[in-house]
Amino acid sequence: MIPSKKLLAAGLMVAAVAPVLSGCHKAQRPNANRAAELRSVSVITLAPHAVAGALTATGDLVPREEAAVTPEVSGYRVTAVLVDVGDTVRQGQVLARLDPALIEAQIAQQSALVVQAEAQAGQAQDQANRTNGLDGSGDLAQEQINQRRFQAKAAAATAQAQRAALRDLQVRREKLSVTAPVAGVILERTVRPGDAASAGGTAWFRMARDGKVELQAQLAEAELARIHVGQWASVTLPSGATATGRVRLVSPQIDNKSKLGYVRLTLPVRSDIRSGGFGRAVFGDAADQGLAVPEAAIRYDAGGASVMVLEAGDRVRRVPVKTGDRGGGWVRLTAGPAAGARVVANASTLLVDGDKVRPVATMREARS
């Protein structure tokens, strides 16, 4: 009977200890579950990233290359103006004519002087030729021989000068027809029939060479750095029509006062693209380098835009941000956390300040 009592006592002891052990297991299970239930979130390290977004600039429509036409002779009256503003002209085309009456009389007079000078030169040369072989013969004084030869050279030079004067008058006569130095479109005309020509005075015509007009758009220094030669842009005209422009030139300097630079955009030759007008360019592929996050990382609520930043202990904190350009799935931050901050990549994740998470690096983060 004694062994039976011992077995009964051992059984009662096990029964008493079992609830205690069972309670210990129940106390440990919630802690293990909480560790397993930590939410895994993708994070990125905030760093500069090129964001391709639309950049807008305005400016004036100006000729790509402007040509000024002025008369090359003075003192002659305008008899005819053959073109007007807006006309398209070819290189060498006559734009205006001057009265040739005065210069025609001068040419006739000079032609007579040329004939006279050539006759005198011929006579002097004949006299000089007669002295050939008489040097040292005593038939004619050496002084006379030298004088005849000198007079022949002087007469020949005089004849040459008269011919040059005649050529000058003939060139002036040609200049009485004022011609276009290049092909293009007449932008401005200031001359009228009856006006007196004055070389070096106010230009009679202003032309846009080949009719090409460009947009000279003004940009701030930071924006100018986002533009490159060959870049395309959509240009809106005052009429509402649009044209495709291409950057031909980026300003090599910034204005000291305005702190602005400019870009020149080549535009197609069209009748509705007029010099002196106004245009607005949108550069759709302008890339801006700055701190950026994926679009999915931005949260929007009543408090505005924000991101969730991962702090020490892997706990998240809401940080307000201000956004800039967007493009390629990225958003540039103009205000917000500093570079190097760890940001939750998906704002749709339901998180609140102080939540503890399990961070998982994104593919971009892992490669870096």
pLDDT tens, 110-155?
A: 999 999 999 999 999 988 887 776 666 666 777 777 888 888 899 9
Q: Is residue 356 within 8 Å of 314, Cβ to Cβ? A: yes
Phi, psi values for residue 342, rounded to 5°: -95, 120
Q: Give the pLDDT score at 105.
A: 94
Q: Is residue 279 within 8 Å of 234, Cβ to Cβ? A: no
100-175: which CATH architecture? Orthogonal Bundle (1.10)
Distances (CA, A) of 118 to 121, 145, 149, 157, 248: 5, 21, 16, 10, 59
Measure the CA–CA gap between 269 and 169, rounded to whole angstroms. Answer: 41
Q: Is 230 left (phi over 0), alpha (psi -120 to 50) or beta?
A: left
* Per-residue b or e along 87-112, where b marks 16 or more CB atoms closer than 10 Å to that residue's CB: bebeeeeebbbbbeeebeebbeebee
In 3D space, the residue among 202, 238, 204 whose CA is nearest the CA of residue 98 turns out to be 204
Measure the CA–CA gap between 247 and 274, rounded to whole angstroms. Answer: 18
Domain residue ranges in the chain: 39-51+290-367, 55-64+211-287, 65-95+179-210, 100-175
Measure the CA–CA gap between 197 and 191, rounded to whole angstroms. Answer: 9
Per the listing, tokens 């020509």 go with 197
Q: Is residue 129 within 8 Å of 103, Cβ to Cβ? A: no
In 3D space, the residue among 55, 22, 44, 59 whose CA is nearest the CA of residue 264 turns out to be 59
Question: Is 0.85 surpassed by the pTM of this model?
Answer: no
Q: 39-51+290-367: what CATH class? A: mainly beta
Pick the CATH number of 65-95+179-210 from 3.40.50.9100, 1.10.10.60, 2.40.50.100, 3.40.50.170: 2.40.50.100
Phi, psi values for residue 111, rounded to 5°: -60, -40
| pLDDT < 50: residue spans in the chain | 1-12, 14-29, 32, 35, 363, 365-368
Q: Give the pLDDT score at 209.
A: 94
Measure the CA–CA gap between 220 and 207, rounded to whole angstroms. Answer: 31
Measure the CA–CA gap between 32 and 345, rounded to whole angstroms. Answer: 27
The domain covering 55-64+211-287 belongs, at the CATH homologous superfamily level, to Efflux pump adaptor protein, beta barrel domain (2.40.30.170)
Q: Which residues pair with 310 in a beta bridge?
A: 316, 342
Q: Give the pLDDT score at 6.
A: 47
